[in-house]
Structure 1
Amino acid sequence: MAEYQTPKDRAYTEMLIQSARKEAAAFLNLKHTAERTDGVIPIKYRELMSVAVALTTQCAYCIESHIDNAVRAGATREEIAETVFIAAALRAGGAVGTGLMAMRLFEEASAKSV
C-alpha cells in the first residue's frame, strides 16, 4: 500500500454513511450540534477547541476542516499557534498523568513478585 491516509479517501464518505445509517445520523447530529453558531460559547472559541482536539487525536481531516472554520470565524495565526502549543502541553501532561498510574502499577507488580 503506497499511502494510508489521503484526501482521495473522502470519495468513500457516502459509502460509509450508507453502510451504517443510524450510527452516521447520530454522529452527524452530534457534530452539527457541537458546531452550532447559536451556543453560549462563541463559534471562534468552539473552533479553536476543535482544532486543539483534532491536533491531539491527530485527525488530518478534522485539523483541515476546523482550521478552515476557525479562520472563517476570525481566528488569527497567533491564536492557532497558541492553540497548537496548548494542545501539545495537554497531550504531554496526559502522558505524565498516566505515568503516575504506571508508577503505582509498577509498585503493585513489584510487591506481588516479592
Structure 2
Amino acid sequence: MTDQQTVIAGQKNLAAGAKDMFRALVAFDQTVLGTDTALPKKYKELMAVAVALTTQCPGCLSQHTAAAIAAGASQAELAETVHVAAALRAGAAMYHGMAYVMPHAAGDHS
C-alpha cells in the first residue's frame, strides 16, 4: 500500500504540472459530489463507495467512506453498499463467463 506522504507529494506534483487541469478536476468533483442536488450527498457518497469497491481504489474507499459517514450514512447502509458492489462484481463475472468463456466450451470435454 502506498503511504500517505507519497500520495501527498504526488498530488502536489500533479497539481504543479498541470494546474488548470487539476483545478478543473477538483471543481468538477466538488460540483458533482459536494452538495445535495437531485441526489442527496449521502446517496452520491454511497454510490462512490460502491464504485471504489469495484475499482478497488484504497484512497477512494477511505475518502468516500468518511464522506458518506459525514453525510449521515449508517453502518447498515454502508454494509448494504458493500453487498451491492459484491453482487455487481459477481454478476459481471457471470456475464463475462457466459459471453466470452462458455460459448467456446460447447459439449462435455471431460
Match of 2:89 in 1: 91
- Taking only the aligned residue pairs, the percentage that are identical comes to 39
CA–CA distance in structure 1, aligned partners of residues 93 and 19 of structure 2: 36
Note closer, same or farther for the CA distance 1:23–1:73 as it changes in structure 2 (3 Å cut).
same
Aligned-pair Cα RMSD in Å:
2.1
The answer for unaligned runs of 5 or more in structure 1 is none
Structure 1 stretch displaced more, 55-64 or 21-30: 21-30
CA–CA distance in structure 2, aligned partners of residues 100 and 23 of structure 1: 40
Task: Say whether 1:41 aligns with 2:43.
Answer: no
Residues 41-95 of structure 1: per-residue CA shift (max 9 Å, x gap): 0111111101111111111111111111111111111111110011011011111
TM-score, normalised relative to structure 2: 0.82
CA–CA distance in structure 2, aligned partners of residues 22 and 98 of structure 1: 39
The answer for unaligned runs of 5 or more in structure 2 is none
Shift of residue 105, structure 1, vs aligned partner = 6.3
Match of 1:11 in 2: 8
Shift of residue 104, structure 1, vs aligned partner = 6.8
Number of paired residues?
105
Which AA in structure 2 matches 1:26? A
TM-score, normalised relative to structure 1: 0.79
